[in-house]
């Protein structure tokens, strides 16, 4: 149990805190809520007048709103929780939505974030988030297993949690994430990519911000407005945190563990006709996730990595299908 302070505080104040009302007062501006994240310690809860909450943890903060079944939204590399703004609005009247923000991606990164406890930074992040699910979501909500939606790095974290505590997760959606980045290169492995990943980590850490270069921006969104948004988000990301997570994502191979993930998993992936043929994209995702026992696949055409920016309506429909299965 990693977050006893949360449990003690919530149980002491009764179920009103555990299950915040959809709207008890006038809405509080999101900017006001985000302003408290830097000062939130692990296990500390900040309550807002509209019934929403912000919870602090070592590696992330969690914004909670709404009532109903629990859904976790995990963003990707260099991305704040704002990437989920439309999804939060879509779900909050029917679900209790836990929107994650990684420390250092839009707020202050504590020094200890880069010194995990005997494991990789990505594994520590997934471990702490699994503890949050166990201690806060399941214990406080009376044993209900949440659904998890993860984008890019967040999808990798979702797979790790599903592997290690699948009995406490209802289902996961993995967006724009292969089980291993090296799958694009023949005979690649974690050990083979580690030297290159180490070099790239040092290069990224030396930059002034987490802003992606123009080549990477082109991969992120098919729309100029989408690329500009990703660029702005990257400017607010701590480059040392970006570098550390990038290294761990690049050297993490989940492909050999997919057959041990037994819960329902939806793989949502983009398709851009200027980059690959549709048949090639479909074959790629179906082949690399072939060992996943309960995988379903969804393709969103005319989009790149940030599907929710390029095709917001189609993305919203895919989320509805996932949660209604």
Per residue in 244-285, pLDDT (tens digit) is 999 999 999 999 999 999 999 999 999 999 989 999 999 999
d(CA 266, CA 272): 20
d(CA 236, CA 79): 9
- pLDDT confidence tier of residue 2, bands split at 50, 70 and 90: low
235 occurs within a structural domain: no
190 occurs within a structural domain: no
Specify which of 21-25, 128-132, 191-195 reaches the highest per-range mean pLDDT: 128-132
Answer for the pair 95, 68: CB distance below 8 angstroms, yes or no.
yes
- pLDDT confidence tier of residue 315, bands split at 50, 70 and 90: very high
Least confident of 7-16, 157-166, 182-191, 265-274: 7-16
DSSP β-bridge partners for residue 266 = 173, 296
122 occurs within a structural domain: yes
104 occurs within a structural domain: yes
Neighbour-count burial of 15, counting CB atoms closer than 10 A to its CB (0-12 exposed, 13-18 middle, 19+ buried) = exposed
State residue 112's pLDDT score. 62
Q: What is the tally of structural domains in the chain? A: 1
121 occurs within a structural domain: yes
284 occurs within a structural domain: yes
Q: Note the pLDDT tens digit of each residue in 198-228.
A: 888 888 888 888 888 899 999 999 999 999 9
CATH number at residue 123: 3.40.50.1820
State residue 87's pLDDT score. 98
d(CA 15, CA 121): 34
**What is the span of the domain harbouring residue 286?**
4-179+257-324
- pLDDT confidence tier of residue 114, bands split at 50, 70 and 90: low
State residue 293's pLDDT score. 86
324 has pLDDT over 50: yes
Answer for the pair 166, 263: CB distance below 8 angstroms, yes or no.
yes
Find the mean pLDDT for residues 25-52.
87
Q: What percent of the chain has pLDDT over 70?
A: 86
186 occurs within a structural domain: no
State residue 187's pLDDT score. 59
Cα dihedral across residues 122, 160, 324, 266: positive or negative: positive
233 occurs within a structural domain: no
Find the mean pLDDT for residues 104-130.
81
Which helix or strand (DSSP H or E) is residue 45 part of? strand 45-47
> Which among 108, 103, 90, 19 is positioned nearest to 323, based on CA atoms?
90
Find the mean pLDDT for residues 128-142.
86
């Amino acid at each position: 149990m990693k977050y006893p302070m949360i449990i003690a505080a919530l149980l002491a104040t009764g179920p009103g805190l555990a299950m915040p009302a959809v709207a008890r007062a006038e809405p509080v501006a999101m900017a006001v809520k985000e302003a408290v994240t830097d000062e939130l310690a692990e296990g500390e809860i900040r309550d807002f007048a509209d019934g929403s909450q912000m919870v602090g943890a070592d590696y992330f903060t969690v914004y909670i709103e709404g009532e109903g079944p629990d859904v976790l939204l995990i963003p990707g590399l260099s991305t704040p929780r704002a990437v989920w703004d439309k999804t939060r609005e879509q779900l909050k009247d029917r679900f209790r939505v836990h929107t994650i923000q990684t420390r250092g991606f839009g707020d202050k990164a504590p020094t200890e974030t880069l010194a995990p406890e005997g494991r990789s930074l990505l594994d520590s992040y997934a471990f702490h988030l699994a503890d949050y699910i166990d201690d806060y979501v399941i214990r406080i909500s009376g044993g209900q297993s949440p659904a998890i939606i993860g984008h890019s790095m967040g999808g990798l974290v979702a797979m790790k949690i599903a592997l290690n505590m699948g009995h406490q997760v209802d289902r996961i959606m993995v967006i724009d994430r292969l089980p291993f980045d090296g799958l694009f290169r023949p005979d690649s492995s974690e050990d083979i990519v580690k030297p290159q990943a180490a070099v790239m980590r040092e290069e990224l850490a030396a930059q002034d911000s987490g802003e992606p270069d123009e080549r990477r921006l082109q991969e992120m969104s098919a729309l100029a407005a989408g690329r500009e948004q990703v660029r702005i988000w990257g400017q607010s990301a701590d480059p040392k945190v970006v570098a550390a997570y990038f290294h761990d994502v690049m050297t993490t191979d989940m492909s050999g563990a997919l057959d041990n993930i037994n819960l329902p998993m939806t793989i949502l992936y983009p398709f851009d006709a200027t980059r690959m043929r549709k048949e090639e994209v479909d074959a790629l995702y179906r082949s690399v996730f072939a060992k996943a026992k309960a995988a379903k696949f969804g393709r969103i055409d005319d989009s790149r990595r940030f599907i929710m920016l390029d095709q917001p309506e189609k993305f919203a429909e895919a989320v509805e299908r996932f949660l209604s299965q």
